[in-house]
Amino acid sequence: MSKRCDEVAGAAPMPLNVMLVPGLPSREALFEAGARRLSAGIVLSLEAYATAGRMAAELLEREAPEIGYSTLNGLLDR
């Protein structure tokens, strides 16, 4: 990707923002091709929520196996 592609050049003067997904060229190659910004989008927040969910489930399973649905509901209702 050593030269700018026609699609990138045709978008000038608008900046080219690239959403990071698996399989993209290196960041250096993207910037060389005309990208002005690389974005992770919503992926970071989705991963954070998934991690928090897994950790909460592990904690409840490990630390409080006797807590049932009604007890949890009561705690969350406060």
Based on the fold, state whether residues 52 and 64 are members of the same structural domain: yes
From 38, 15, 57, 64, select the one nearest 29 (Cα to Cα).
38
Give 72's contacts (C-beta < 8 A, 6+ positions apart): 60
> What range does the domain containing 64 cover?
43-77
* Residues 43-63: tens digit of each pLDDT: 899 999 999 999 988 887 776
pLDDT value of position 52? 94
For residue 15, tell me if it sits in a domain: yes
Strands in 5-47 per DSSP E: 16-19, 35-39
The pLDDT of 5-21, averaged and rounded, is 75
Q: What is the percentage of the chain residues whose pLDDT exceeds 90?
A: 40
Write out pLDDT tens, residues 59-77.
877 766 677 788 778 878 8
In a domain, 1, yes or no: no
Q: What is the mean pLDDT of residues 20-34?
A: 92
Judge whether 27 and 38 are in contact, CB under 8 Å. Answer: yes
E strand spans, 1-78: 16-19, 35-39
The pLDDT of residue 10: 65
The answer to whether residue 10 is domain-embedded is yes
Confidence of residue 2 (pLDDT cuts 50, 70, 90): very low
